[in-house]
Amino acid sequence: MAPKVYVDGQSGTAGLRLMDYLAVRDDIELLRIDEERRRDASERARLINASDITFLCLPDDASREAVAMLENPDTTVIDASTAFRTDPSWAYGLPELASGQREAIRASHRIANPGCHATAFILLTRPLVDAGLLPEDSLLSATSLTGYSGGGKQMIAQYEAADNSRLDSPRSYALGLEHKHLPEMSLHARLGHAPVFVPVVGSFLKGLTVSIPLHAAQLKDGTTTLDIVNAYKAHYDGEQFVRVMNADDDASNLDQGFFDVQGCNDTNRVDLFVFGNSQRMTLMARLDNLGKGAAGAAVQCMNIRLGIDESRGLDIER
């Protein structure tokens, strides 16, 4: 019998993208709620408890309320909000995080899907901390350039309005420096301090890159760009959704000297780059913020939990 899958919050941006992934699968039974009953708590509870897998694409408080509706001990919840990402009783849904993480996801009925900015930041930093190249007490800064789909339906409508030229230029936000992804970024990167993190939204639909500048003095003495690349290659050996780009091949990593933030769009892939020289370096990760940064990552976790091909229904190349 095919596993039953339900998406609570399927009308939001992440929910809609998740439904795109799931609707074409012939190995699951997709449970659907009638549009007029999508705010009916009793109907939502019925579907959640009838499912083998429930995805929550809801605000934090609504996700907590949905989890409280659970009565079926066999239902697995994959939550896309920030509500449970630092909760030790939930598996963090980033299989590439470290040895044993994939097994933790497979064994858990509660999986917290990572944030898009956090995914890129953690994939850049965790291997360097684990390899002893980046101290755990490092004081880092990071910038994320992301497409406007990350802001949800309202922001998409603003950017796609017929006459809205004031949105043509990139816009920094979360300038109180308390972005909601910070707790998971520091915890799962094994860093003692949250980074000074500034996200920037651009006038393109999707695509995201996180950049982390480093002075050589912030790293273990003698660390080179090649050392960092080799640490990434060792950490992500065999990972089909993480591609480590060669440090000595900058020309092929750029488009006439410019970085393409949308280079992973429509895939579940993350590309990792190291630019710079012996004194100053920039670490960069790019992904599709609606793919590996949201819905694609959730599907990957579902596949792991169900014990099927991890890449089923997901693209690596476009």
The sign of the torsion formed by the CA atoms of 167, 172, 176, 179 equals positive
Does the annotation count 116 as an active-site position?
yes
Name, in order, each residue with C-beta under 8 angstroms of 207's C-beta and a sequence gap of 6 or more. 146, 147, 261, 262, 263, 264, 265, 286, 288, 289
**Cα–chain center distance at 289:** 7
CB 212 within 8 A of CB 140: yes
Beta 171-172 vs 196-201: how paired, if at all? antiparallel
Strands laid side by side in the 76-79 sheet: 29-31, 4-8, 53-56, 76-79, 110-112, 91-92
* 3-state secondary structure at position 164: coil
Rounded-to-integer distance, Cα 314 and Cα 84, Å: 25
Q: In 44-119, at which residue ranges do the beta strands (DSSP E only) sit?
A: 53-56, 76-79, 91-92, 110-112
* 3-state secondary structure at position 90: coil
Q: What is the CA radius of gyration of the chain?
A: 20
Which among 57, 116, 264, 301 is annotated as catalytic?
116
Task: Indicate which residues carry an active-site annotation.
Answer: 116
